[in-house]
Amino acid sequence: MLKRTPFHARTAALMQADQWRRWAGYTAASAYEMTHDREYLALRNACVLIDVSPLCKYQITGADGLRFLNRLVTRDVSKCPIGGMLYTPWCNSRGQVIDDGTIAHLGEQSYRLTSAEPNLRWLQDNAIGMQVQIEEVSEQIATLALQGPRSRELLMTLTDAPLADLKYYRFINTVIADTPVMISRTGYTGDLGYELWLDAGSASAERVWDALIAAGRSFALQAAGIWALDVARIEAGLIMLDVDYTPANKAMIDTQASTPLELGLEWAVSWNKGSFVGRKALLEEKRRGLTTMLVGLELDHVEFARQHHALGLPVAYPFLAWRSVIPLHADGAQVGYTTSGVWSPTLKKYIILAHLQPGHAAPGSVVTIDLDVDRFRRPFEAKVAKLPFFNPARKKELL
C-alpha cells in the first residue's frame, strides 16, 4: 500500500480519471483532468497548485550544522543567510552525484535539507564526530508548490507578508488560514512560483489547501500533477534524479553515475570553500577534462512534421514528456544519449535533455537521432541549445 500525503482527501476529490502514479512511496497525481493540457497551460499562464509532499526533508541543527553541510554538499552554505535557500547537489568521494535538493537556512544553527531520495544514513555517516542533530522530518512537513505568473497575486490575497519584496530563493514565515506557513520563492518549474511548507497534520494542511483553492478562483488556479510539472521542468532545464542522472548509490557501474560537472552544475560547486565530499575527485575530473556533458537539444521539428505529412498524417508531437535513452550520433559514431524530451507548447519547440561528448556539446553543434514517425524509424537532426530553454524574467523579478 502506498502512503498518502496530508492533502490526499482533497486531491482525490479532484481526480477525474484515476491517473495516479507512485512517487517516493506515495500516491501522487499524474494529472487530475483527463489530459494534462490545461494544467500545464495554467502553470505557464495563470497558476497551479502541486502537492509535492513526498519530498524527503531533514532538519539539521547544532553547533556544527554549517560545518556539516559544507562538508556534505558542493555549494558554499556559509553564503546562505538566515531566510535564504540554495539549490545544491551532493556527491560521494568519487565525485558522483548522490542526490540534489535545497537547503533552507531556518535560523541560528538550524537548516532544512530536501532531497528526492532518502538520505538519512548518508547524512548520519557524514556527521560522525560533529555536534549536529539530523532528524528526518519528511512526514511531519507537508509541501505545496504554487507556481505560475499569477501565484504572487494569489498569495498576497491570503497574507500580509511582504511577498512583493521576497527575492528568488528567499523565504518568509507567515500565517495562512490560521496555520503557520513558511513560503519560499522556489520551485521546479523555472517560473515565478512559491513553495509552502507547513505542518503535516491533515486538518491544518486541508485548511491551507482550501484557502488556496478558494482564493485561486480569481486567478484561474488549477491543481496540477506530475505530467504538467515534467513538461515545465524540462523547459527550465532542471534535471530529475533517476531520469536525467542515476544517483551514485544506485549505479551498478561507474559509467552509470554522473558528476556535478557532467550535469552542468559546476556553478553549484564551490572550489574555494575548503574540503567537501568528492572535491578531490571533481578537481581531478576538471583537470583531465569531462567525458560527457548534459546539454539541451532542439529537434528539427519542421522536418519531423514534414515526415509525418509525407505519410499523409498530422504531426504527432510528444505532449507528455518521454524518459527514454535514445542514442545520439555524429560522424557515424554514437556521441551521446537522450534522457528526456517533450514538445514545448510555450516555446513551440521539440526539446530534449541529453548527455553528449564535449566535442559535440557546443551550442549549435548538430547530432542525429532516430525517432518514430508512425510505423517507421527516421533520422532527424537535433541542435545543441543553451539551457534553460525557457527562462522568463518574472522568475526572479520583484514586484
Binding site for another protein (CB under 8 A): 1-3, 22, 24-25, 118-122, 124, 136, 249-250, 252, 254
Nearer to another protein, 62 or 118 (CB): 118
Q: CB of residue 61 vs another protein: minimum separation in angstroms?
A: 18
Residue 18 or 254 having the CB closest to another protein: 254
CA distance 224 to 31: 6
Burial of 103 (0-12, 13-18, 19+ CB in 10 A): buried
Residue 281 or residue 305: which is nearer to another protein going by CB? 281
CA distance 245 to 257: 7
| Nearer of residues 134 and 354 to another protein, judged by Cβ | 134
CB contact burial 310-344 (16+ within 10 A = b; e otherwise): eeeeeeebeeebebeeeebebeeeebbebbbbbbb
> CB of 252: closest distance to another protein in angstroms?
6
**Judged by CB, which is closer to another protein: 120, or 182?**
120
**Residue 29 vs 385, nearer CB to another protein:** 29
Name the DSSP class of 322: B
Whether residue 345 is preceded by a cis peptide bond, meaning omega within 30 degrees of 0, is no
CA gap 332, 246 in Å, rounded = 27
Instruction: State the nearest-atom distance from the C-beta of 242 to another protein, in Å.
Output: 12
Q: Residue 158's closest CA among 143, 174, 142?
A: 174
Smallest separation, CB 193 to another protein (Å)? 28
Q: What would the grid cell of residue 330 be? A: 555524429
* Nearest approach, Cβ of residue 26 and another protein (Å): 9
Q: How far apart are CA 378 and CA 84, in angstroms?
A: 48
* Shortest Cβ 250–another protein spacing (Å): 7
